[in-house]
Chain A
Amino acid sequence: MKAPSQLVLVLSVLSLGVLLTFTYFNQWGELFSNPDTVLLPYLIFRTLLRMLLAYSLVILFAFPYGIIAGLYRRARFLMLPLLDILQSIPVLGYLPAAILFFVNILPGELGYELASIFLIFTGMAWAVTFSIIGAVRNIPNDIREASNSFGMRGWRYVRHVVLPTIFPAFITGSVLAWGGGWYFLVAAELISYGSVPHALPGIGSYMGNAVFSQGNIASAIFGLILFIAVVYTINQTVWKPLIAYSKRFRIQTMESNAAVKFEPAEGKIIDMFEWLMERKGGIDEFLARAFDRLGAFASTVKLPIRHIPRRRVHVPLPRWEVFSIYTGLFIGIMLLFAFFYASALAQQLRNIVHSISSYPDALNLPAYTFFSFLRILAAYLIALSWTMVAAILVTRSKRLYDLFLPVFDIGQSTPALALFPFIVVIVIQVLGGGTLSIEAASILLLLTGTQWYLLFNIIGAIRHIPGDVLEASRAFGVRGKQFYRDILIPAIIPGILLGSIQAWGGAWNALIVSEYIVFSSNTYSVQGLGAFLTRATLQPNPDPWIITLAVATMTLTVLLMNYLVWRPLFAYAEKYKFEGT
């Protein structure tokens, strides 16, 4: 099905569905009893504006940071660990800092708006930056050497070679980033800090209000469907074409019989960029000089470390140096956070020991972390099971694939946070209000932040199995169980791993909102790290050290998992990669 007609079809089905069910259940009255309903077009506009502003900031940050870190080895030495730590801090770990900082500087609506934009920024920025760094570092050696020998260095190299080459990676990173942004939209627009949540005009807060404070189910459902429609439309009309457009920037290596294909960097975006460079000739000159100075600086700066040889060979840095850099940066950032919290709360940073003794719950942090970890593990295993089966089934026939992909697309676009209340209500109805049901609800909520990463990565991996390997296995009679055991599953191991890393990242982020749920003036919470953090921020006099401790614990756990689990697994999975991937 072609994209535009698929979009129209889906939207029509959704509208028709809404029309019919709302009329049948006579919900229009309740819907319009919500005063904000008529404002929905404006609210959607505000939301999009907010996302766009955040995204512009992401671009302004990610490109310089990513390109510099990608090009200069010495810069990378510090910039990569810094980015790693920033990425490991769960999005909602920035929430207290964002609010306290911005609202204090600019009290009132503008402050909250900025805090919201900053929050969305932190949900988007790291994915895009990492994509850019990866792409810069993956520019083929021969292109690098050719550019250098033709005098394309510094800014010229960036502008004429690097930028077009990294464009596809930038787009895929952006798609991931926007997905993350949508996921947290409700939390970003309905800033609940302190007893009274502050709502910013937008569709996220519309949904949140409908559920949390008004209990207006009709509005909630209507808002949710509208939200899904908006996200889905953007996916189809913006990202899909951009991804197709970005394919022309891919550098294709020579295959034995085919001619060399290098798609020149053309197209509207490049034209706009060129126009800008030409009109404002000064910018181009300025950037060229700035880059030259940067390059000169980079080669002379003396870092307090051993001399790094200028070889292209990857020399792994000695462990203790990496460890000390991470430790130093980590402690530095956490202290900065603590300082932010304290100054914004207009409190003194008292002795940390004193803080802990007045808030003894803090001693349970290791236990809470362990429980949260188990919860994520349960959600992950459930997600892995169903996504593997679904991915294998879906990729078997083209028809099934075409049919289900939009379904999965929509599933991924659905902001999980908006589903929370429904899930909680349903689970509590079914299982009673006891601990078991809340744990179940919690795990279900974690699933929503986890499963799509796995599903799409596994589907992608299956589709990327080289055709000749599939042919060979057929030709040699490999069928049935043996095919799955010996061919399919080993082939998708790198994809499962990548999906798992993203899934766990999503799960840590979802933890904060899935362990402490407020619904129609009832509070449901489990024993875990996320609940602890939320509780600590909801205290009448929040203690900056306690909040910092919670954020630090979560960040540290993510970093440790990275180092102890993901990195070794990545090394092991190398042997499953097909050549050229």
Chain B
Amino acid sequence: MAKGKHPEIELRHVTKEFTENRSKGVAISDISFQINEHEFVCVVGPSGCGKSTLLRIMAGLEFPSSGRAIFCGKPIAGPNPKHSAMIFQTFALLPWRNVSENIELGLQSVGMPKQKRVEIVNKYLRIMDLEDFATAYPFELSGGMKQRVGIARALAIEPRVLLMDEPFSSLDAMTADQLRNDVLEIWRNPKTKTNTFVMITHLIEEAVFLADRVIVLSKRPGRVIADIPIDIPRPRPEHVRSKIFFDMCDMLRRLISYHEQK
């Protein structure tokens, strides 16, 4: 399977239904798009539009009711640590494991020997600037640090795609800013094997700041309203106060509110 032939992730007419309290509903409807290698894609939409469901389908944690979810040309059959790793809004760390032990979770499940695990954990402790906290427990860490551990844990298994579920919305603004820049650095870093990022968020400014492309979903049942390339040059921090940045944000906003009125 040659790289570049297939998109990393492809969704074709994916629909997901659900039952809640004995009533049926549709979370997302007829969603189709592709994620290509090296892209940083943000999916935005109002709360409840099904973005989380979409991400979990891409992660293999859930399956579409109809349509196909494909990874590198093959249908997604379940969670595959070699393909994708996920970062959670609520961090999802194991409270009885310290930072190092949390990072090595994915490495243990593939049966990697201890020595190799230690090497990899140390590498990512360094990359995420967590070396001083290697033996700390989650309850001792701030939200920002916990998410760093979550990121390290995901990167440690060196997946092809990183899937992020509103990773910064539980953090205060300054910490979130810092982490956004860190995430961009990781994405750009040629030494890390993970270079395709998919992130869902409800903050338009965040999406415009980070992404190559923004996919906009409508409210439930979520449909793709727009799939827009962000033409603002990088490094983005230089352009965060520029007109093109605000124009882009305004356009996305108008798109969403236009769709809400329909």
Binding site for B on A (CB under 8 A): 256-257, 466, 468-469, 471-479, 482, 486-487, 490, 493, 575-579
Contact B92 A471 (CB under 8 A): yes
Asked whether A579 and B139 contact (CB < 8 A) given A466-B90, A475-B86, A477-B81, the answer is: yes
Contact B157 A487 (CB under 8 A): no
What residue in chain B is nearest A577 (Cβ atoms)? B95
Counting CB contacts under 8 A, is B160 at the interface? Answer: no
Interfacial residues of chain B within 79-114, with CB under 8 A of chain A in the complex: 79-81, 85-86, 88-92, 94-96, 105-106, 108-110
Contact A482 B108 (CB under 8 A): yes
Contact A473 B105 (CB under 8 A): yes
Binding site for A on B (CB under 8 A): 47, 56, 59-61, 79-81, 85-86, 88-92, 94-96, 105-106, 108-110, 137-139, 153, 157, 169-170, 202
Residues of A contacting B81 in the complex (Cβ-Cβ under 8 angstroms): 475-477
Contact residue among A475, A486, A487, A578 (Cβ-Cβ distance under 8 Å from B59): A475
Residues of B contacting A476 in the complex (Cβ-Cβ under 8 angstroms): 79, 81, 85, 105-106, 109, 153, 157
Contact B79 A477 (CB under 8 A): yes
User: Complex formed: what's the CA distance from A462 to B138 in Å?
Assistant: 21
What residue in chain A is nearest B80 (Cβ atoms)? A477
24 A-B residue pairings within 8 Å (CB atoms):
A256-B89, A256-B169, A256-B170, A257-B47, A468-B90, A468-B91, A468-B92, A471-B86, A472-B86, A472-B105, A473-B105, A474-B79, A475-B59, A475-B85, A476-B79, A476-B105, A477-B79, A482-B109, A486-B108, A493-B96, A575-B139, A578-B95, A579-B95, A579-B138
User: Complex formed: what's the CA distance from A204 to B206 in Å?
Assistant: 68
Residues of B contacting A472 in the complex (Cβ-Cβ under 8 angstroms): 86, 88, 92, 105
User: Complex formed: what's the CA distance from A78 to B59 in Å?
Assistant: 56
Residues of B contacting A466 in the complex (Cβ-Cβ under 8 angstroms): 90, 92
User: Complex formed: what's the CA distance from A110 to B105 in Å?
Assistant: 66
Residues of B contacting A579 in the complex (Cβ-Cβ under 8 angstroms): 95, 138-139
Contact A478 B61 (CB under 8 A): no
Interface centre among A474, A479, A576 (most CB of B within 10 A): A474
Contact A487 B94 (CB under 8 A): yes
Contact B61 A474 (CB under 8 A): yes
Contact residue among A475, A479, A493 (Cβ-Cβ distance under 8 Å from B61): A475
Contact residue among B89, B106, B138 (Cβ-Cβ distance under 8 Å from A477): B106
What residue in chain B is nearest A573 (Cβ atoms)? B96
Minimal beta-carbon separation of A569 from chain B (angstroms):
14
User: Complex formed: what's the CA distance from A469 to B109 in Å?
Assistant: 15
User: Complex formed: what's the CA distance from A475 to B153 in Å?
Assistant: 11
Contact A576 B95 (CB under 8 A): yes
What residue in chain B is nearest A480 (Cβ atoms)? B109
Contact A257 B86 (CB under 8 A): no
Residues of A contacting B85 in the complex (Cβ-Cβ under 8 angstroms): 475-476
Residues of B contacting A256 in the complex (Cβ-Cβ under 8 angstroms): 89, 169-170
Minimal beta-carbon separation of A492 from chain B (angstroms):
11
Minimal beta-carbon separation of A316 from chain B (angstroms):
19
Minimal beta-carbon separation of A363 from chain B (angstroms):
46
Interface centre among A475, A477, A486, A487 (most CB of B within 10 A): A475
Minimal beta-carbon separation of B155 from chain A (angstroms):
12
Residues of A contacting B89 in the complex (Cβ-Cβ under 8 angstroms): 256, 468
User: Complex formed: what's the CA distance from A256 to B47 in Å?
Assistant: 12
Residues of A contacting B138 in the complex (Cβ-Cβ under 8 angstroms): 579
Residues of A contacting B59 in the complex (Cβ-Cβ under 8 angstroms): 475
Residues of B contacting A474 in the complex (Cβ-Cβ under 8 angstroms): 61, 79
Asked whether A479 and B96 contact (CB < 8 A) given A257-B47, A257-B169, A468-B90, the answer is: no
User: Complex formed: what's the CA distance from A474 to B202 in Å?
Assistant: 25
Contact B109 A575 (CB under 8 A): no
User: Complex formed: what's the CA distance from A280 to B146 in Å?
Assistant: 55
Asked whether A477 and B86 contact (CB < 8 A) given A257-B169, A469-B94, A575-B96, the answer is: no
Residues of A contacting B60 in the complex (Cβ-Cβ under 8 angstroms): 475
User: Complex formed: what's the CA distance from A46 to B186 in Å?
Assistant: 74
Contact residue among B79, B96, B106 (Cβ-Cβ distance under 8 Å from A576): B96
What residue in chain B is nearest A474 (Cβ atoms)? B79
Residues of A contacting B109 in the complex (Cβ-Cβ under 8 angstroms): 476-479, 482
Contact residue among A478, A479, A482, A575 (Cβ-Cβ distance under 8 Å from B137): A575
What residue in chain A is nearest B202 (Cβ atoms)? A257
Asked whether A475 and B95 contact (CB < 8 A) given A468-B88, A468-B90, A579-B139, the answer is: no
Interface centre among A476, A486, A490, A579 (most CB of B within 10 A): A476
What residue in chain A is nearest B79 (Cβ atoms)? A475
User: Complex formed: what's the CA distance from A468 to B153 in Å?
Assistant: 15
User: Complex formed: what's the CA distance from A147 to B209 in Å?
Assistant: 43
What residue in chain B is nearest A469 (Cβ atoms)? B92
What residue in chain A is nearest B146 (Cβ atoms)? A579
User: Complex formed: what's the CA distance from A168 to B238 in Å?
Assistant: 54
Asked whether A490 and B94 contact (CB < 8 A) given A476-B105, A477-B79, the answer is: yes
Residues of A contacting B105 in the complex (Cβ-Cβ under 8 angstroms): 472-473, 476, 478, 486
User: Complex formed: what's the CA distance from A468 to B139 in Å?
Assistant: 17
User: Complex formed: what's the CA distance from A470 to B109 in Å?
Assistant: 14
User: Complex formed: what's the CA distance from A473 to B105 in Å?
Assistant: 8
